[in-house]
């Protein structure tokens, strides 16, 4: 008889965005004429830029010629892309990252979900609350969290993150082995200061803790008092793994390309106390379970680092940042309290009065036909907040704000 992995039975309800999609689908069926504007899931709307498309077309032509056809590629990613990443993302920051520390994948979500496989089941994890659900759910699936009581997992250390602490969580009060941080943050749209990140690196070094640093939205940063890469902080290469993505930077949500940086210096302990480097373990994991990102996609990602690619993708990011400004200032103009929207494509809206996040979700959907994301879906401390994204078209963004302005809270 086959037995199921009962850790999956500890997952809390449906995946957040699937639940939202179901509610929106039910509403659409009952109201087929509703003009729904989707500002919920963080999916881009602008097309891939010309430099990327041209590179992909060229790669397609190569695949049609026996002399330039490529089959299986390296599981770690083609050297041409990994070198472009080194030259484009790290060398300008004065950082010494080698190409064998870079692992190209089909998404930061994939990497964040899979990296926990390198660690034993009895590791204690710490997550911010609210949190991107994959950090938590992938550890639930692995049996690392224990059971949930009233939505709180017994073996997880939660780090409350809210307006009262300026969205900068305190250090854990008990020992943790792994901590997840995201800056710019999804869902709150806020960033951690350079000084605070330096304090986190010092904490991790002192407590023998591994930092999982999600930097998927670094391209949206305009604030100077933060970092583009965690490795800008001295000592970070000893304790931190960084995740990056082309999804929001270059519109690859439907094309799928990202990468993780696993420095050779990062180690964890074996049960007998020996230090074990994680880089070769991750390499082995990828070689065993992953056949690599398609050549055509990697050529498109490489083109992001060309002068034309940089200019064009930055123009798209500026477009979304302007959308964020429009949403933020529009909501503030009617007295709503808003966070984020400066260094990230997310606006974190405080619900009015005693309204819950799902109640505000329902009001926006039913009264003005706007899809959002309830903050409670990101964790208990997300209750009382709601996330909007800036990834819609300019026209829909303006229309959405004007609709919200008609509401009276």
Domain count, the chain: 2
Residue 4: inside a domain = no
Model confidence at 151, pLDDT cuts 50, 70, 90, reads confident
Name the least confident of 51-60, 322-331, 376-385: 376-385
pTM above 0.85, yes or no: yes
Residue 3: inside a domain = no
Q: pLDDT (tens digit, 9 = 90+) per residue, 210-245?
A: 999 999 999 999 999 999 999 999 999 999 999 999
Residue 2: inside a domain = no
Instruction: Average the pLDDT over 80-98 and give the result.
Output: 98
Q: Which residue range(s) make up the domain with 293?
A: 53-306
238 and 349 housed in the same domain: no
Residue whose pair of structure tokens reads 């009233």 in the numeric block:
150
- Closest C-alpha to 124, from 187, 170, 185, 180: 180
Taking 90 as the threshold, does the pLDDT of residue 409 lie above it? no
Provide the token pair at 180.
């997840």
25 and 116 housed in the same domain: no
Q: How far apart are the first and last CA of the chain?
A: 56
75 and 182 housed in the same domain: yes
Name the least confident of 23-27, 52-56, 74-78, 243-247: 23-27
364 and 221 housed in the same domain: no
pLDDT of residue 242: 98
CATH at residue 246? 3.40.640.10
Name the least confident of 34-43, 217-226, 395-404: 34-43
Calpha distance 112→260 (Å, rounded): 9
148 and 289 housed in the same domain: yes
Of 244, 275, 306, which marks where a domain is finished? 306
Residue whose pair of structure tokens reads 């800036």 in the numeric block:
390
400 and 287 housed in the same domain: no
Of 242, 271, 306, which marks where a domain is finished? 306
């Amino acid at each position: 008889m086959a037995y199921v992995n009962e850790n999956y039975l500890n997952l809390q309800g449906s995946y957040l965005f699937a639940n939202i999609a179901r509610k929106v689908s039910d509403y659409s069926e009952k109201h087929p004429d509703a003009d729904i504007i989707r500002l919920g899931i963080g999916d881009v709307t602008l097309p891939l830029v010309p430099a990327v498309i041209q590179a992909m077309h060229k790669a397609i032509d190569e695949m049609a010629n026996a002399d330039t056809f490529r089959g299986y590629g390296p599981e770690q990613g083609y050297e041409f892309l990994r070198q472009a990443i080194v030259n484009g993302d790290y060398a300008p920051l004065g950082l010494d990252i080698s190409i064998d520390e870079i692992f190209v994948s089909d998404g930061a979500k994939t990497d964040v979900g899979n990296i926990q496989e390198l660690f034993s089941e009895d590791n204690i994890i710490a997550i911010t609350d609210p949190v991107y659900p994959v950090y938590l759910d992938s550890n639930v699936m692995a049996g690392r969290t224990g059971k949930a009581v009233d939505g709180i997992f017994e073996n997880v250390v939660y780090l409350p993150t809210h307006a009262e602490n300026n969205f900068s969580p305190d250090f854990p009060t008990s020992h943790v082995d792994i901590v997840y941080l995201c800056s710019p943050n999804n869902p709150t749209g806020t960033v951690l200061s350079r000084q605070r990140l330096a304090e986190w690196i010092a904490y991790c070094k002192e407590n023998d803790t591994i930092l999982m640093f999600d930097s998927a939205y670094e391209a949206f940063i305009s604030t100077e008092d933060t970092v583009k890469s965690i490795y800008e902080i001295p000592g970070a290469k000893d304790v931190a793994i960084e995740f990056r993505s082309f999804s929001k930077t270059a519109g690859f949500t439907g094309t799928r390309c990202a990468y993780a940086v696993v420095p050779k210096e990062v180690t964890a302990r074996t049960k007998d106390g020996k230090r074990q480097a994680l880089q070769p373990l991750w390499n082995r994991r990828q070689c065993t379970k992953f056949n690599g990102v398609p050549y055509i996609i990697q050529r498109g990602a490489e083109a992001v680092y060309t002068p034309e690619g940089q200019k064009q993708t930055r123009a798209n990011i500026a477009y979304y940042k302007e959308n964020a400004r429009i949403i933020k200032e529009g909501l503030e103009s009617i007295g709503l309290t808003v966070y984020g929207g400066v260094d990230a494509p997310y606006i974190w809206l405080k619900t009015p009065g005693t309204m819950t996040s799902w109640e505000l979700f329902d009001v926006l959907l039913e009264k003005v036909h706007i899809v959002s994301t309830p903050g409670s879906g990101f964790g208990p401390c997300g209750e009382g907040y709601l996330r909007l994204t800036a990834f819609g078209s300019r026209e829909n963004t303006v229309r959405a704000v004007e609709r919200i302005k008609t509401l009276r809270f």
